[in-house]
Structure 1
């Protein structure tokens, strides 16, 4: 009985202890947290943050390796040392494009400063030859094809406005030597990303400021000649991570680490003020000051990262060299939280994230449980609920302060910070790609996450302009206060409990159902040595390592990590394991320092290339090894890689989430050796299906042809075979120097026209006709002739308009009509040959009936006669590439079948004899085979003895067959048909066409800009093409699908944004009875004039509905903020 009481008492005590632990876990942090948070709110000074940002943005460029980068490093070190921090510098290796010299030289010798743009494919610098490029200067404005009309582009230096999108490709494919971008003051992140391609095309691009551009425009008007010189080297430099520690007052072995990056990126690396990118590091320095003045209980570690834009090189090196070594792995120092700061200015609200697009570390659903010790403080028991000495919670204090700063209302903690560390929709409400410096640390099993501005867009990022005066410092201030409150809590909250053994830095282990830590990937860059039969090392090759995105690319350019192999061809890098990161891909390159050309590339050939080595790694252990095969090469560049069926790229990348595709269809490039008609032993290419260009890498001296397959691999949609009217099958291209196919669309069209013309003429000479081919060929020839005339007259826009149509016609004729005839001919010929072989043997028995040698000779003679008749009568044998080979193949097929029959027969006999020997005679069987063997020869003998009857029977059979084939043959052809596709209820004052494929959706749910150009080419001057652009938020089941539109002290949630052309806008205003149309008495001319004035002065205008305007409390002429842009309310439409 006493034992029972003792046991019950023990159970009660244990239950009480568990209850106490649960209550303590859910209890509010000690009241001191409130006072510390209150101190933080009062201590953080936005003036200090602004001063830091101003200094960083004044350094010219903080791209790794540039003077501003080192100045920023020294500034941070000095600042932290002055605060009393113990500062150390962690060095690592990274690769950066270093501009050595870049200028434009005028005719009279004056040199003007210019700056090179970011390397194409990250590996092809924007270089010129040693002597530079000389040419006539032409100005083309926005670089649309019509802007080139009347100008001699071949060999010219093109002057183009910076806000021209990707139109520099127009200059490249028309034969320009280089393009000079002129600063215009109008820029955004899209302009920056459009100024380089992830395909390593060799084309020089430089940038000059607006004042210099004005001078060059004057010179272009005078047809002046200039020289462009650019020297950029991809150098391996030493990068620096700055580590500063401030010892805590009591919990000295427990660390709260806070990080931000101090480098920057610009598409013009030598000009990167990047004020927006300096917000994070400036906020970090202000927080460092606060903790220095209010020393917390836990140790504070400040980390200023760099190498961010080279695949998070700095953070990766920090994880490898610092975190995964003592004292952090031994427990002498325990990281309780590693908090990154990567904020912007577009929103006062914060989002807490752990995953990004850098290494795409995506854990399982258990990630939330893994981060539960910190999540508890953010969601269930935020430090914002802590009480201050005034009786108010920190939330109330912060809400009052934030409302005073921004003029907005803050009613809940969710208005300040949201916890987005979940596996589903891990990107939260981020509508653009981003990378977190805490990603590599989270992968190393550290409690690492980052503060990021909710809905951050970084609209002005990546450009060579100073965006300091675009920053909304009110939003920055509120975010800094929110971060300070939470960090003050984490640094002083004694109830924060972390099971360090479970969350210590780990090299490679399996936890919580997923793998964490790093695989050390070692590799070798090598070339095959034909003499030794094995690979030889290639020293100092430039290696790219990247997480697989769509179609063998990373999708996001900055996910690529660049490094150099050593003097033995070896390299090593840390990558993530399977299940937690994607497959890791790799390639290697050699760039000639003098010419700037790629002279060695990754071998993708069938014998010694990536076809027989590892194409990627998905590590399941802590180490792995790869060989990257390389070969000496010459680059061949092609443009206008569009699927002619729809005139679009076969894939379209989602710019919001670059690991997904909006459109995903087949698009495969192939290279052939012209002489062998087979895949070369050594070759390579870079082709991303969402980009309209490709670069092939071919062995010197090879004669090559190039094909592109779309939709299926049956027949190519584009071919480059170097045809002529005399040799319609082409000569191939001898690759002995770098080739850039200018006017590639013209070359595609010419080659396909000649191919179709030559092959169809061969068919028609044999009386094989097809109306579709004749109509399509005639139409394509007419369009091609027109395009040739336009090109001679330098009317490039009209020429491309004709070429698009011609290529669409001739490509479809080739794939849909011509080549199926050739395929059918080959199949028919093969069938006839297979039938003819036994027929020849039977005919010899029937008509000649010799034995021995005479029988063999007679059979050969009959076979020759039969095949001669077939060759004359059936066109298949004359259009086939190799009739003799086909005959031999058919004969071999027949002999193999005969061999199998004999083998099976003899095998059956052996089995039967064995069974009889063992079991005796035990079954009854017929003699069908014997009957067959007797019936065939007997039938032939009977036919020989009854010649008249046999002849009449054969004659009747032949007559019926001839009648059936001659009088009932048919062929299909294609024609454009017009039909009604339903009705549209709205009145149409003018005829309208809605372009669709299928009911309810555009073609494959996406409309490509080049498809719009094709439609414009077809419509010409007979109508107006008015495409619409819908812009949707990134997909998120958790958070909904809305954009925030900010007005006067209020906001409105929009589910999408619609972009319209001027023609549609004016029509919509009149038909809806808009506010502006009403004010102008529905005068269409005035509306068009006003629209033109507004769009010429500024494109930042928006049209709202009356309901939206009322919610936002705005009227005509007021300003609203959408996607980080301030837009003027141009018009208001009635909501109904």
Structure 2
């Protein structure tokens, strides 16, 4: 009878799984097998209930109300519903907070819509000035360049799924863009909406239903609107939440942590529905319930982390606190059911749940794109764990199929690559870069393995809504993860304890892994005392804050590896979790920039000084690596000097004007000169884009390249400057800007800067042409140069007057190309003139000597005076009749240089002559 009941029970389970559409093959399992526990105890309905609640409470971007509600929900569930001893660890973080951005129709009707600001461009919040920006609203669809007409001064409504085409609008002079909320989108689209340099261009998104109202109105008549982007930097307290499930064994040295993040990311912080993004933490809560009911052999810590959207902040601050500051010295915390004593050595292994219902294909990852590659041969520990999991079931490493108790699952278990073969496993199975919290723990010194759903395209976007959650894909993943983890937690074999004790388990600040701590101080130059000071409360206004921005600048690694922090009133800041460099293991360079921002207006008022004074304390400039123990442990601080500034942005300036291909930052040389003196500025700064290779996958090639072609200059206020851009490889001028000035905190942008470059190059060419226009001997090159000049001037004027975007861009590059050809011909002409003039000056010397001998034949001092007089006379005649002396800006400098060469060579000639005489005598 009992057997019949059991068979009936298994049949019911099989039918249930078939009804929910699981894609695994069902077989009868043993009565007490983990598969039966998974089927009976891990309830998909419970997981979905958590997902639906967490996606209904508003944005879970760190620091937003939804994130705080999620923390309260998780804490209450663990502490009160499950009755677990639960505690929190807090840290502070700086986030962009969208308070209440709005779009108001001014006419023909008056109506206000809530809109949502996109993430900052680096530290630039893109906040509108007090009172907002006003203009005519137009709709451009996907903003294909062929269809854009008369964009300047408009506020533009554009489809969200339009790649980086919004950059055309920025370059054409639009005041702001308003994206229409899409029904569906991808992470590629999200990446195209944010720049990694502080470009101020307001970008918001409007809900679909509100966009329909706007479009309906636009079909009838012209619409005028006012956009108010109300975003500011907010320092918030974020919580990591932990619960302890004591094991039936009293051994507390092999604690296993199961972790997930409960916050979420999207390109629109205030609009982060994050339904599917809750899959990991929802599964974590269900595992906590099942493990509380069926206590495992080994002690488990359930950990829900915040801050994954802001550079893995929660995992980084936890690792710094527990694995470095409390590795052996316990941290005593008050839990809701008693005090907890926790130290780093207690935690032996960490499992991270980073799941998605977009796919049923899962992988086990230890490395990822956040930190990049490191050599497991130097740290060890991962291979025994992967081998253990392979032995629990049956794994086909060619088809990536894992079979357990008759069920088949799609699972990728990576091979371990050692030595010089720098292969990160995610690149084998995923089209997208994979970043996960396990990377943080592995670099911190405790082995972590992440269960990761690969090829997710919608998770982490504004379209990650509840209707996208697919239980059919989530069910097999939760089953398999539970089976593998529960098997390890309950395996009584001593070899499992030995394996756990052999895993990676030591913190290190230096390579080959390493978890570096960056400490630094921000200074300013006090002119009255002529000293550097850091008492910022003496010079900052009430609403000013010091914002520190650090990013890894490797194009292959460091995806979303950037940190934003706040320096205190003494200029001190501390950022944990950077990747150290090793001389034999590769360099991982970072770039740091510090700003003082008026948090009321969003203006940048101070910036990092990259001039001579700024480099006096930190000789590496704004780029550095952390290699030595002193650097990686924070004992050797980074020192940066700030200066008061305004901001000047050049849009689309970093192009090779001949090939029209984008240039990398290291391929462009920037020269910033004071206009009046033409001396290099002592204080200035510049930011250029360094995009991750991920963007090369984006299929929007035409516009995506503009993401990395802007340059932002920070200039001393109220000083006129000239800026020259040159190609480092060829030293050829890319462009010239003249007579630019910004005020303190002022933001100015040069749109269609190739037209500005063309204008300034043409002005230089005009002055050069005027000097040689009347020289008949230069007729050939002069005609060529004048032809280029006239052509470039015509194209420039057409480009300025054109209202058609495609025509404007075409004329812009054409005028710059011809202007550079004009300058090139003129430079070559001037160079030939200078060379020929120098040759004449040299030939004048023997000519003078011969003439003096023929006409006078003096000797002694009288001959010297005669030769000099005759040379000066001939020089005067040449200066009058030869065009070279009138064309060259300073022919006497050329003459003095020539005389210097002659004077320097005379002793050599004398010595050679003396030596020759001695040799002859011998």
Q: TM-score, normalised by structure 1?
A: 0.67
* Residue 174 (1) aligns with residue 168 (2): no
The aligned counterpart of 1:86 is 85
* Residue 819 (1) aligns with residue 824 (2): no
In structure 2, which of residues 476, 479, 495 is the aligned counterpart of residue 478 of structure 1?
A: 476
For residues 791-848 of structure 1, give each alpha carbon's deviation from its aligned partner in whole angstroms, at most 9, with x where no partner exists: 2xx3333233333333333334534x44344444445545555665677677667756
CA apart distance, 1:612: 3.5
In structure 2, which of residues 724, 729, 745 is the aligned counterpart of residue 707 of structure 1?
A: 724
* Residue 235 (1) aligns with residue 241 (2): no
The aligned counterpart of 1:650 is 663
Structure 1 residues 889 and 250: CA distance shift in structure 2, 3 A: same
For residues 283-308 of structure 1, give each alpha carbon's deviation from its aligned partner in whole angstroms, at most 9, with x where no partner exists: 22222222122211111111111111
Measured in 2, the distance between the counterparts of 1:811 and 1:144 equals: 29
The aligned counterpart of 1:370 is 381
The aligned counterpart of 2:542 is none
The aligned counterpart of 1:564 is 566
Structure 1 residues 462 and 436: CA distance shift in structure 2, 3 A: closer
Structure 1 residues 805 and 246: CA distance shift in structure 2, 3 A: same
* Residue 618 (1) aligns with residue 626 (2): yes
- Aligned counterparts, 1:581-592, within 5 A: 582-592=588-598
CA contact (8 A) 1:137 1:219 kept: no
CA contact (8 A) 1:36 1:488 kept: yes
- Aligned counterparts, 1:62-211, within 5 A: 62-81=60-79, 82-107=81-106, 110-121=111-122, 123-149=123-149, 151=150, 153-211=151-209
In structure 1, which of residues 533, 537, 542 is the aligned counterpart of residue 534 of structure 2?
A: 537
In structure 1, which of residues 693, 707, 716 is the aligned counterpart of residue 733 of structure 2?
A: 716
Measured in 1, the distance between the counterparts of 2:403 and 2:235 equals: 51
- Aligned counterparts, 1:547-946, within 5 A: 547-550=552-555, 556=559, 558-574=560-576, 575-579=578-582, 582-609=588-615, 612-614=619-621, 615-621=623-629, 622-623=633-634, 624-641=636-653, 642-651=655-664, 666-688=667-689, 691-710=708-727, 712-721=729-738, 732-736=739-743, 737-766=746-775, 767-768=777-778, 769-770=780-781, 773=785, 776-789=788-801, 791=802, 794-815=803-824, 817-830=825-838, 833=841, 858=866, 860-872=868-880, 875-898=883-906, 927=918
For residues 834-870 of structure 1, give each alpha carbon's deviation from its aligned partner in whole angstroms, at most 9, with x where no partner exists: 6656776776677566689876765554444444455
- Aligned counterparts, 1:84-483, within 5 A: 84-107=83-106, 110-121=111-122, 123-149=123-149, 151=150, 153-220=151-218, 222-250=221-249, 252-253=251-252, 254-326=254-326, 334-360=346-372, 362-366=373-377, 369-379=380-390, 381-383=391-393, 396-397=403-404, 399-400=406-407, 410=408, 415-419=410-414, 421-422=416-417, 424-428=422-426, 429-454=429-454, 456=455, 458-483=456-481
For residues 1085-1111 of structure 1, give each alpha carbon's deviation from its aligned partner in whole angstroms, at most 9, with x where no partner exists: xxxxxxxxxxxxxxxxxxxxxxxxxxx
Measured in 2, the distance between the counterparts of 1:827 and 1:186 equals: 65
CA apart distance, 1:359: 3.0
CA contact (8 A) 1:753 1:777 kept: yes
For residues 92-139 of structure 1, give each alpha carbon's deviation from its aligned partner in whole angstroms, at most 9, with x where no partner exists: 121110012211223265432111111112x00020111211222222
CA apart distance, 1:904: 9.4
The aligned counterpart of 1:1119 is none
CA contact (8 A) 2:119 2:268 kept: yes
Measured in 1, the distance between the counterparts of 2:857 and 2:294 equals: 114
Measured in 1, the distance between the counterparts of 2:36 and 2:830 equals: 82
Give me the CA root mean square deviation.
3.4
Measured in 1, the distance between the counterparts of 2:202 and 2:313 equals: 27
CA contact (8 A) 1:605 1:681 kept: yes
Structure 1 residues 895 and 228: CA distance shift in structure 2, 3 A: same
Measured in 2, the distance between the counterparts of 1:602 and 1:876 equals: 45
The aligned counterpart of 2:340 is none
CA contact (8 A) 2:612 2:682 kept: yes
- Structure 1 residue runs of 5 or longer lacking an equivalent are 1-30, 386-393, 401-409, 652-663, 722-731, 909-924, 932-1136
Measured in 2, the distance between the counterparts of 1:47 and 1:839 equals: 104
Measured in 2, the distance between the counterparts of 1:594 and 1:857 equals: 76
Which protein has greater RCO, CA pairs closer than 8 Å, 6+ apart? 2
Measured in 2, the distance between the counterparts of 1:880 and 1:685 equals: 34
For residues 189-217 of structure 1, give each alpha carbon's deviation from its aligned partner in whole angstroms, at most 9, with x where no partner exists: 22222122112111111221122122323
CA apart distance, 1:247: 1.0
Greater CA radius of gyration, 1 or 2?
A: 1
Measured in 2, the distance between the counterparts of 1:715 and 1:47 equals: 66
CA contact (8 A) 2:114 2:206 kept: yes
The aligned counterpart of 1:39 is 37
CA contact (8 A) 2:645 2:717 kept: yes
CA contact (8 A) 1:307 1:315 kept: yes
Measured in 1, the distance between the counterparts of 2:833 and 2:304 equals: 70
CA apart distance, 1:787: 3.1
Measured in 1, the distance between the counterparts of 2:201 and 2:501 equals: 54
Q: Secondary structure at the match of 1:114?
A: strand
CA contact (8 A) 1:57 1:275 kept: yes
For residues 562-596 of structure 1, give each alpha carbon's deviation from its aligned partner in whole angstroms, at most 9, with x where no partner exists: 10111100112233322367123311111222332
CA contact (8 A) 1:40 1:488 kept: no
CA contact (8 A) 2:369 2:557 kept: no
For residues 165-198 of structure 1, give each alpha carbon's deviation from its aligned partner in whole angstroms, at most 9, with x where no partner exists: 2222233222222222222425222222212211
Q: TM-score, normalised by structure 2?
A: 0.82
Measured in 2, the distance between the counterparts of 1:462 and 1:872 equals: 75
Measured in 2, the distance between the counterparts of 1:49 and 1:605 equals: 56
CA apart distance, 1:926: 5.3
Of 590-599 and 137-146, the range deviating more from structure 2: 137-146
Measured in 1, the distance between the counterparts of 2:509 and 2:813 equals: 55
CA contact (8 A) 1:609 1:682 kept: no
CA apart distance, 1:80: 1.5
CA contact (8 A) 2:671 2:723 kept: yes
Measured in 2, the distance between the counterparts of 1:678 and 1:554 equals: 39
Measured in 2, the distance between the counterparts of 1:311 and 1:840 equals: 76
Q: Secondary structure at the match of 1:927?
A: helix
Q: Secondary structure at the match of 1:135?
A: strand
Q: Secondary structure at the match of 2:320?
A: helix
- Structure 2 residue runs of 5 or longer lacking an equivalent are 1-28, 331-342, 396-400, 537-544, 691-704
Structure 1 residues 497 and 175: CA distance shift in structure 2, 3 A: same
CA contact (8 A) 1:188 1:463 kept: yes
The aligned counterpart of 1:654 is none
CA contact (8 A) 2:256 2:301 kept: yes
CA apart distance, 1:68: 0.3
Measured in 2, the distance between the counterparts of 1:838 and 1:355 equals: 75
The aligned counterpart of 1:725 is none
The aligned counterpart of 1:524 is 521
For residues 375-395 of structure 1, give each alpha carbon's deviation from its aligned partner in whole angstroms, at most 9, with x where no partner exists: 32134x24558xxxxxxxx96
CA apart distance, 1:500: 7.3
